[in-house]
Every structure is written in C-alpha cells, then in structure tokens.
Amino acid sequence: AQSVAQPEDQVNVAEGNPLTVKCTYSVSGNPYLFWYVQYPNRGLQFLLKYITGDNLVKGSYGFEAEFNKSQTSFHLKKPSALVSDSALYFCAVRPLYNQGGKLIFGQGTELSVKP
Amino acid sequence: EAQVTQNPRYLITVTGKKLTVTCSQNMNHEYMSWYRQDPGLGLRQIYYSMNVEVTDKGDVPEGYKVSRKEKRNFPLILESPSPNQTSLYFCASSLGIGYNEQFFGPGTRLTVL
C-alpha cells in the first residue's frame, strides 16, 4: 500500500535554531512531493514541491526541502526558526501515474518554536 | 483574490438530517477534491472531480455524494449523516492533476450528534 510517514508527531525548536521536519514515503515510481502548512483554524497552504531536477527545493517563508531518492525521504528544513513558524506541517505525495490526482498525506507534525 | 471558499465553516447537526457543504473556487480550476481530516490520520480524499460532470470516488466515499454541474462549484452532500462523519472537511482545487499544487478552502468543522 502506498503511504507517507511523518515519524514525529511533534517537533520542538528554539527560535533561531535550525529545524527539520521528517517525511518518508512508500510509493511506486517517482512521485511528486509536496509540503503544506496548516495554521490554527485555517486551511492548508502550499509551501513547496519537488517535481524533478535539483534535490534541494526552496519554497515560501524561507523553507526548503531535500529529496533523497535512495532513502525515499523529503525532509523539510529551515536554517533559522521563527516563533511564527509554529503550525501543523503535512507532507504529501502524488504518484506519477495516479489517475485521480489524489494527494497521499502523512499524519502531520506539530512544530512548536519557542522564544 | 484567488481563493477557495466553503460554507458553512461550522455545523452541528443530528443523525439522519441531510446537509450540504458548499465549495466554490474563483481560479477557473478544472480539478476539485474533498478531504476529511481526522487526528492522527492526516487528510483522506473523499471524492474528486476532473472537470464538469466528471466525478469519482476517493479513499473514503461511503456516506457522501458530490456533484459538479458548474466548473466553480463542488458541493459535498451527506444524505444521512452519522456520528462517524464528525470531522474537519476541506475542499481543494488545482489547475489539473500531476505536479500542480492544490489550493485549500478554510475548512468546515462538522459535528453529528
């Protein structure tokens, strides 16, 4: 079965420190990979995506993500965390030949950045 | 402003009382989808639509119906809601499938008593 795993329910980081939110996937072929962020009482907002090419992709709000094909991972990173980055983060994949356009989501990781 | 809107944002209802959650997008997107979000499960797709009059089941379609009579609207219908449909619902749209990112509505929190 195709799946996405975010192994940490919660990540705690001090402001100014680097952050990493982990994501691994089990999907046949080469999927498209996405990160979304959800702030309280809001819908999901797109952060960044990997389609092909450079393994390091840059997105909104200073976030970046590193694609690792051999480890089937797509970890989200930021060099210096802000308190305003505190939110729920979702990794999602779309198999290349998925007919329904469905995104397969991880269960989410709650990021807490403390001053 | 480009956006996906949903109504209502909050709804408390009782078992068996038919309800409709509306979804509308102003981006001329062909693809629309409904998800439900439950703690520890992430988002799961209920139904999707590739274009007008083209809809199909997602992973958890039981108990739901949809229609796509116009490109901009994609309502979610619960003919006879049950307590296990208590959840947070999101509508999303995108230019197409593939590598296009999806734009999400603000969510509808539904409680079925």
Dump pLDDT digits (tens) for A5-60. Answer: 999 999 999 999 999 999 999 988 778 999 999 998 888 999 999 988 889 999 99
Among B18, B16, B35, which Cα is nearest to B74's? B35
Decide if A101 and B50 are in contact by the 8 Å CB cutoff: yes
Sign of CA dihedral B71, B48, B38, B61: positive
| C-alpha to C-alpha distance for A36 and A88, rounded to whole angstroms | 9
Instruction: Provide the pLDDT confidence category of residue B96 given band limits of 50, 70 and 90.
Output: confident
Which pLDDT score is estimated for A30?
79
pLDDT tops 70 at residue B46: yes
Instruction: Provide the pLDDT confidence category of residue A100 given band limits of 50, 70 and 90.
Output: low
Which pLDDT score is estimated for A98?
66
Residues A7 and A76 sit within 8 Å (Cβ to Cβ)? no
Could you tell me which residue, B2 or A50, shows the higher pLDDT?
A50
| C-alpha to C-alpha distance for A76 and A112, rounded to whole angstroms | 14
pLDDT, chain B, mean: 94
| C-alpha to C-alpha distance for B55 and B33, rounded to whole angstroms | 9
> What would the two tokens of residue A46 be?
């797109």
Decide if A36 and B104 are in contact by the 8 Å CB cutoff: yes
pLDDT, chain A, mean: 92
Contact list, B33 vs chain A (CB under 8 Å): 101-102
Decide if A43 and B59 are in contact by the 8 Å CB cutoff: no
pLDDT tops 80 at residue B112: yes
| C-alpha to C-alpha distance for A115 and A13, rounded to whole angstroms | 9
